[in-house]
Amino acid sequence: MEIIMAFVCGFLFMAAIYLILSRSLLRIIIGTGLLSHGAHLLILTMGSFKGSAPPVLTEGVTDFVDPLPQALILTAIVISFGVTAFFLVLAYRAYQELKTDDMTELKGSDDIE
Amino acid sequence: MFQVLCIFIPLIAALFMPFFFKKVRSIHTGWFVLVVPIFLASYYATFIPITSKGDSVIAQLHWIPSLGISFVSYLDGLSLLFSILITGIGALVVLYSIFYLNRTKEQLHNFYIYLLMFMSAMLGVVQSDNMMTLYLFWELTSISSFLLIGYWFNRDKSRFGALKSMMITVAGGMLMLGGFVLLALMGDTFSIRELIAQAPELAANDLFVLALILILLGAFTKSAQFPFYIWLPDAMEAPTPVSAYLHSATMVKAGIYLVARFTPIFAQSEVWIWLVAGIGLLTLFWGSFFAVKQTDLKGILAFSTVSQLGLIMSLLGVGAIAFHVEGAADSAFKYATFAAIFHLINHATFKGSLFMIAGIVDHETGTRDIRKLGGLMSIMPVSFTVALIGSFSMAGIPPFNGFLSKEMFLTAMLSIAEFDLFNFATWGILFPIIAWIASVFTFIYSLYFVFRTFTGKGNIAQLPHKPHEAPMGMLISPVILAVLVVGIFFIPNIVADLFIKPAVIAIQPFLYTHPEQVDIHISAWHGVNTELLMTLGIFAIGFVLFLTLSKWQKIYNAFPAKLTLNNLYDFIIYELSGNWMYRLSSSYMTGSNRRYLGLMFGAFSLIVIGTLFSKDAFYVTFEGASPVHLHQVILIIVLVIGTITTVFAKSRITSIVALGAVGYTVSLFFVLFKAPDLALTQLVIETISVALFLLAFYHLPKFKKEQERNRFKFGRALVSFAVGAMVTLVALSAHSQKLVPSIAEYYKETVYSLAGGGNIVNVILVDYRGFDTLFEITVLAIAGMAIYGMIKLRLSRKGGKL
């Protein structure tokens, strides 16, 4: 299962990078969303899927899955949510002020002052 | 201790100069400065009896003891000679500058601060035995020279000249530092004396030749050797006292000093001998040849300085041959180093006086253009006499000191033919020939300098100022130097005993241990021999060529103006580093975020994948993998379809909904992989995220069709594929090679006994690793505040500025 999940994560990353390299700001944000999904699944996969019970103490169960990656992912989910929310509002404000969401037009360079 | 402090006396004195300049307006600031070099010169003169016996004095002041860096004042024959030159000529130059620079019109405090700074730096260079402090003072001479050349900073040419000299000498200095570091690594000490003591072992080291070349580059750039001499003519924009002091008598000799100082270490290498002697000779010829072309008085002197420095350098190179010759103390090779030091003293005297005369002519007539000058002899008789003495000495005419050193130079060059090591038997014959031709040109430009300026008709009426003899004070310094020029001719052996022989034993410790062993007696008349005939030939041919100068001077125009070293410098500085490098960096710094990201992702995945395979780290095993179930496969298929829809959706809403589908599938994965808390959080967060996306969706414009050039589209696909492949490969090999077991056992065992909880993930979040959670809350808070700020604060609308 871990082998297949490695390919799934790679696929998610590939799609995310493809979107991040696009011209529209909204597509880029969607890309970052996919990227964080990929990263979270990757952390979980690397922690391995061994164990038959969720990491909650229950009578008579000793074979828990690894709880540490889950704690890390939980933190990561919240942080990526905060960043995505911020990014969305930033894109909204940028569009409001600059009237464009096209990255080629948002180019910052010396000849534009 | 006091001896070390003496190096810093000029620097300390410099601190007070603004005070004298601002508060004591009625007295020229130079008079206060004058005290410093006079005091130092008399102080250093007290060491002469010690060094002339072949002894040395050393004093030390620790600076960074843990790194072995300290200020060392080491006075032997060589450094004492330089110290006296620096302070002695320094005193004369300060005296001259008092009359040259106007008290009310010039920023004198700046001038004298730079000058005193330079004096300290130069004393430090020649007295430092520690290579690190030597380098420190070396760069300080470059900086103070930069400041002095750019003294009239509102002139374009001054700034250009200052920058050029800075670029070239500092580049050389940096390389020299590299050489020093290599030497220190080889010998495990910064002390030059200790390095000399272990010279034979150093020569066996592989880095020896590299250190040699780096140090020589430092010396050649400073001493204006071919092809680095180009900064010196441009440095003539400096005030004339500066040119006289820095660019003829002292700073440009720092490279000579360095070569002389390191000769005991490097003389064993043939590379050293060939480079020093060969480049020196080339510089000698090149400088003297092009000096005749110049029309600016100081330009002639600059090229002449280049040429004479080449002469001294080549003599030092030939002197190093003595290391390889049996019984060199009895052969003609012994003359080379002696002649180098002798000519160094002579050059300092006559070139200093000539620069001062050029300054006087400029000051009194308003021009330095030799084509406008002429016939000043009767108006400025004293200046003419001094110029005549200086020029004749430079040309090598008796009874002036230049004659003596020129004769010894020819002797040393002729001696090369005796030497049959390192291919000198084949090429050695070129040395006296080139030296002779260069001497002819030296003769021509010496006469050109003095006679074109002072004799002939001239059109005095058309000069910018009405010329008259310079004031007494201005003439004192050049007259003193001219008296020295004549004086040294008549008492050369006293000078030799006091200064030259102690310096020679410092340069050639492998040949002599005591000054009295230097068995050389200078005599003006040494019978009819080859040297004398060569000298007569120089006079005769030089004189004829000088008289016919106007006929053949045109050949200089035949040289293409584009193929000069100055053009090469301009090309490197302005075209190559300025223009081309700008174009190169702006070719990838396009300002396009997508391009940067593409480059970064691409490079990142290339490096990771490359490392993975080049280090043979890729390895896959199916062992330990958990079994695959059907429902998992179904979820994976859903996830992949969702992702593809997200990427290729034509409308925004499809894309957003598909992203939501991916998120919910991920939370289902969390359910399958027994992570209930994750599943819960993911479900909630995904819902809020999709809501947010839909909010933004309302305000953001519709998707446009992605219009790319094909090349970019292909690159984009390639980069994203590379990143995906990288993640997969790394995940596979990481999973297949687990080296240590998880620390989760500890959490599982202690979650109830130590933390009193049942949900291990939650206990980790708030108990074991509570800090993570604290700052994750902080992140959310900051994001919230930032969003609020972005929406509420609109400074530009209100006309305010950010």
Give the model confidence (pLDDT) of B250-262 as tens digits: 889 999 999 999 9
- Residue B559, both tokens: 């040289």
Minimum-distance CB partner of A21 among B719, B744, B791: B719
- What is the second-level CATH architecture of the domain A2-49+64-100? Orthogonal Bundle (1.10)
Q: Which of B715, B734, B738 is nearest to B726 (CA)?
A: B734
Do B521 and B646 belong to one domain?
A: no
Is residue B160 assigned to a domain?
Answer: no
Q: How far is CA B343 from CA B308, B485, B595, in A?
A: 9, 11, 63
What pairs with residue B60 in β-bridges? B72
Task: Say if B185 falls within a structural domain.
Answer: no
B643, A15 in Cβ contact below 8 A? yes
Kindly state whether residues B451 and B518 are assigned to the same domain.
Answer: yes
Please indicate, yes or no, whether residues B778 and B731 belong to a single structural domain of this protein.
no
pTM: 0.81
In a domain, B408, yes or no: yes
Higher pLDDT, B634 or B698: B634
* Helix, strand, or coil (residue B44): helix
> Would you place residue A112 in the very low, low, confident or very high pLDDT band (cuts 50, 70, 90)?
very low
Tell me, yes or no, whether B695 and B613 share the same domain: yes
- Same domain? For B722 and B748 the reply is no
pLDDT at res. B351: 92
Provide the ipTM.
0.93
Give the bridge partners for B58, in sequence order: B74
* Residue type at B113 in one-letter notation: I
Q: What are the backbone angles phi and psi of residue B510, rounded to the nearest 5°?
A: -75, -10
In angstroms, rounded to a whole number, what is the distance separating the alpha carbons of residues B497 and B494? 5
Residues on chain A touching B687 (C-beta within 8 angstroms):
none
Question: DSSP 3-state assignment of A2?
Answer: helix
Helices (H), B128-230: 131-149, 156-187, 192-197, 199-203, 208-222
Question: pLDDT band at residue A61, thresholds of 50, 70 and 90?
Answer: confident
**Measured distance CA(B800)–CA(B802) in Å, rounded:** 7
Distance from the B617 Cα atom to the nearest Cα atom in chain A, whole angstroms? 17
What residue type is B679 in one-letter code? A
Statement: residue B313 has pLDDT above 90: yes
Q: Does A84 touch chain B (CB under 8 A)?
A: yes
What is the sign of the dihedral through the CA atoms of B401, B406, B409 and B415? negative
Statement to judge: residues B472 and B612 lie in one domain: no
Lowest-confidence segment of A87-96, B681-690, B706-715 by average pLDDT? B706-715
Phi-psi category of residue B520: left, alpha or beta, with phi > 0 → left and psi -120 to 50 → alpha: beta
Which chain A residue's Cα is nearest to B597? A21
Cβ-Cβ contacts under 8 Å, A16 against chain B: 720
- Tally A–B CB contacts below 8 A: 274
For residue B424, name the pLDDT band (cuts at 50, 70, 90). Answer: low
Distance from CA of A111 to the nearest CA of B (A): 10
Residue A57 to residue B751, Cβ atoms within 8 A: yes
Domain count, chain B: 3
3-state secondary structure of A23: coil
- Residue B599 in any domain: the answer is yes
Nearest to B787 among A25, A66, A86 (CB): A86
Same domain, B672 and B749: no
Of B690, B707, B739, which residue constitutes the final position of a domain?
B739
Structural domain that includes position B439: 269-558
Task: Chain A: give the shortest CA distance to residue B744, in Å.
Answer: 6
Identify from B586, B593, B605 which residue to disrupt to test chain A contact, counting A C-beta atoms within 10 A and taking the largest count.
B593
A51 inside 8 A of chain B by CB: yes
Structure tokens at B391: 């020029």
* B693 neighbourhood in chain A, CB within 8 Å: 29-30, 88
Q: Considering the domain boundaries, does residue B279 fall inside one?
A: yes
Q: Is B585 within a domain?
A: no
Which structure tokens are listed for B43? 């102080």
Give the residue from B519, B496, B505 showing the smallest Cα distance to B329.
B519
pLDDT grade for B730, boundaries at 50, 70 and 90: very high
Q: Has residue A98 got a pLDDT over 90?
A: no
pLDDT computed for residue B480 by the predictor = 92
pLDDT at A109: 46
Cα B265 to Cα B253: distance, rounded to the nearest angstrom: 19
Q: Which of residues A94 and B192 earns the better pLDDT score?
A: B192
Of the candidates B689, B717, B739, which is a domain's last residue?
B739
CA atoms within 13 A on the CB side of B214: 16
Q: In which residue are the tokens 């490096």 written? A: B607
Tens digit of each residue's pLDDT (9 = 90 or more) over B319-368: 888 888 777 667 777 888 889 999 999 999 999 999 999 999 888 888 88
Is B78 a domain residue? no
- Does the residue B176 lie in any domain? no
Average pLDDT of chain B to the nearest whole number: 87
Q: Are residues B332 and B347 in the same domain?
A: yes
d(CA B773, CA B770): 5
d(C-alpha B314, C-alpha B409), whole Å: 9
Same domain, B715 and B748: no
Let me know whether B490 and B629 are in one domain.
no
Angle between helices B472-490 and B401-415 (to 10 degrees): 50
Of A11, A88, A104, the CB nearest to B724: A11
Within 13 Å and on the Cβ side, how many CA atoms surround A24?
18
> Would you state the pLDDT for residue B711?
59
Closest-CA residue of chain B to A108:
B591
Q: Which two tokens stand for residue B217?
A: 């580059």
pLDDT at residue B442 in the model = 92
Residues B719 and B780 in one domain: no
Q: Cite the DSSP H helix spans in B649-765.
A: 652-672, 676-699, 710-736, 744-750, 760-763
Residues B734 and B746 reside in one and the same domain:
no
